[in-house]
Copies of this chain bind each other. A is one copy, B any other.
Amino acid sequence: MSTVPMRTVSMSTVLLTGFEPFAGETTNPSWLAVQRAQELWEGPEALDVLELPVEFGRAAEVLNEAIERLRPELVIAVGQAGGRATLALERVAINVDDARIPDNAGASPVDAAIVVGGPAAYFATLPIKAALAALTREGIPAVVSQTAGTFVCNHVFYALMHALAGAAGDEMAAGEPAEGVPGRDHRRGPRGGFVHVPYAPEQAAGTSHPSMTVETMATGLVSIVRTSLTTTTDMALAAGATH
């Protein structure tokens, strides 16, 4: 999917992933949005996109293969959160699969570890607060979310952060930087995170579900990428939840 056949070590790469459709849908706005973000992207970094299967295990394998191949400095996985109303900057990935519906290969793991022996969770290493501030300034609805669920989205998010933690060659990404500020110091190693998107309008038509145009999603993703590339220390902006 890269349109840049050769790459030098000095060329920065950003990888955006979306998912194939699932749960009876015929499209997945996450994949439409990352493709549109690629069109909107003006560099100088290369921006690659990748469509992941909605399958426990295989989604992570496809992602890991791309990370090894592309060596991106920034990876943002994007997934559909039908029923949510805004972009959601996910804060944390947890080491458990618990599926209420089967994935696209028919698997429904319950309370299975994603990485046996892995940490209970990873925090995103994106500057989610700075990204939230930028999106709000630009008029794009977004929130920080405290859970990415326990389905394939969280699975990919956890696998991504596990891969990046390994790539960093240290424990930087594992929840707790030296300064004691979770996810707020991103000076070393590739960074990654996860963004949930609402239904596209076409999916919500005929229902009372909230939706967002793919154009708005893509504009928001470009903003998140830009903020992530230019922010070394995240802002201290309250965006938590009381419960």
CB<8 Å pairs between A and B, sample of 9: A85-B210, A96-B123, A98-B240, A99-B238, A120-B175, A120-B176, A120-B182, A139-B202, A198-B210
- Closest-by-CB residue of B relative to A90 is B243
The answer to whether B151 and A243 touch across the interface, beta carbons within 8 angstroms, is yes
Q: Which one of B92, B209, B242 lies within 8 Å of A100 (CB-CB)?
A: B242
Answer yes or no: A117 CB below 8 A from chain B CBs: yes
Answer yes or no: A196 CB below 8 A from chain B CBs: yes
Answer yes or no: A189 CB below 8 A from chain B CBs: no
A103 vs B143: C-alpha distance in the bound complex, in angstroms? 22
The answer to whether B237 and A110 touch across the interface, beta carbons within 8 angstroms, is yes
The answer to whether A205 and B136 touch across the interface, beta carbons within 8 angstroms, is yes
Grouping DSSP codes into helix (H, G, I), strand (E, B) and loop, the A interface class, with mixed when no group exceeds half, is: loop
Q: What copy number does this chain have within its complex?
A: 4
The answer to whether A208 and B86 touch across the interface, beta carbons within 8 angstroms, is yes
Q: Which one of B81, B121, B202 lies within 8 Å of A120 (CB-CB)?
A: B121
Known A-B contacts A113-B176, A175-B119, A181-B113; the reply to A141 vs B84 at CB < 8 A is: no
From residue A208, how far is it (CB to closest CB) to chain B in Å? 5
Most buried by B among A82, A101, A198, A212: A212
